[in-house]
Amino acid sequence: MPVPSFTVGLYPIAKPLPPTQYEDWHPCSPWRNRLLKLGIGRRAKVDKNETQRNEGTIMLYTAKTLKGYKLDSLDGEIGRVKQFYFDDLHWTIRYLVADTGNWLPGRQVLISPYALVAVNTDIYKEQIEIDLTKKQIEDSPSLNSDKPVSRQFEENYYGYYGWPLYWSGPYTWGAYPHLTRDRDKWKAANRGGKTWNRHLRSTHAVSGYHVQATDGEIGHVEDFIIDDETWTIRYLLISTLNWWPGKKVLVSPQWIERVSWDESKVFVNLSREAIKQSPEYTEESLLTRDYEIGLHGHYNRKGYWVDDLAAREHSH
């Protein structure tokens, strides 16, 4: 019998499945569904008349999928993904919080997306590669596990690694709308950029927040869908279990009117009926660009990829 081949996101995998599961390789197979949940992939077009040369690949992952992934530094594993900190202006991941076990006890070990090289969703690995050594991480500015991330800590942290300040400039990543790994641009990026006040929130704490439409409550935040190129949160995964049993929907942070951190509530500029009629999201299906276009079209909203392209062109 031929070995089944399949795709997780855009990455083809052709490895033998356990013999007992060959006959179960069909759309409802638990094995198949497990694979699909590992990564939500789609190809992003960066130009209307793109060629193979300028076509980019972006992957989307849920925060809960990445939780527990191994963290592989340049000289060995340092721990696993615990949660993420994001800012409440750009809704972008600023730090991965690592669970390092008995290594560096009592510290919050934070890793900036500047050091996150690749996400490997292979079911035999499930890891995130980090472009740092254990020594670099150990010698980095220390933050006690019971302390919030202060401005002073962030300045010391970014100064230690020499990365551009994400809060210095008009874009998601300061002087640039995307993560730049060109070291020649880093020094220029930190010169004279207008700073903005950043407030960090954790994916763990915001999970469970109630979601309020323009005419009533609709559910709660269950998860976050993250873009691995800019590390921006593209969608909040909303469970509407108490209103429309079993249905889950996606809401873009761009559609959020405000967040009441005191009330643990997210207010969105959408009606309950519009949300009810929106394309349903299921964990068993891939989040394709066609789905995203349909979702934004349903709400008559412009896709984030349009603004991303414009920002990229303006920043060059």
Q: Is the pLDDT of residue 51 over 50?
A: no
Average pLDDT over residues 119-141: 95
pLDDT of residue 314: 57
pLDDT of residue 288: 87
Domains of the chain: 6-59 (no CATH), 69-189 (3.90.50.10), 207-308 (3.90.50.10)
Predicted TM-score (pTM) of this structure: 0.81
Name 155's Cβ contacts closer than 8 Å, sequence gap at least 6.
Answer: 165
pLDDT of residue 315: 56
In the predicted model, what is the mean pLDDT of the chain? 82
pLDDT of residue 180: 87
Q: What is the pLDDT of residues 265-314, one digit of tens each?
A: 999 999 999 999 999 898 776 788 899 999 999 999 999 988 777 666 65
**Could you tell me what percent of the chain has a pLDDT over 90?**
60
Q: What is the Cα Rg of the chain in Å?
A: 20
Here the tokens at position 80 are 């696993």
Count of all residues that appear for the chain in the document: 316
Query: By CB neighbour count within 10 A (0-12 exposed, 13-18 middle, 19+ buried), where does 315 fall?
Result: middle
Are the CB atoms for 264 and 210 separated by under 8 Å? yes
d(Cα 94, Cα 173) in Å, to the nearest integer? Answer: 10
What is the separation of C-alpha 261 from the centre of its chain, rounded to a whole number of angstroms?
21
pLDDT of residue 313: 65
Average pLDDT over residues 105-129: 94
Q: Is the pLDDT of residue 215 over 70?
A: yes
Query: By CB neighbour count within 10 A (0-12 exposed, 13-18 middle, 19+ buried), where does 176 fall?
Result: buried
Query: Which of 220, 202, 204, 223 has its CA nearest to residue 212?
Result: 220
Query: By CB neighbour count within 10 A (0-12 exposed, 13-18 middle, 19+ buried), where does 148 fall?
Result: exposed
Average pLDDT over residues 222-240: 95
Q: Is the pLDDT of residue 67 over 70?
A: yes
Give the model's confidence band at 32: pLDDT under 50 very low, under 70 low, under 90 confident, else very high: very low
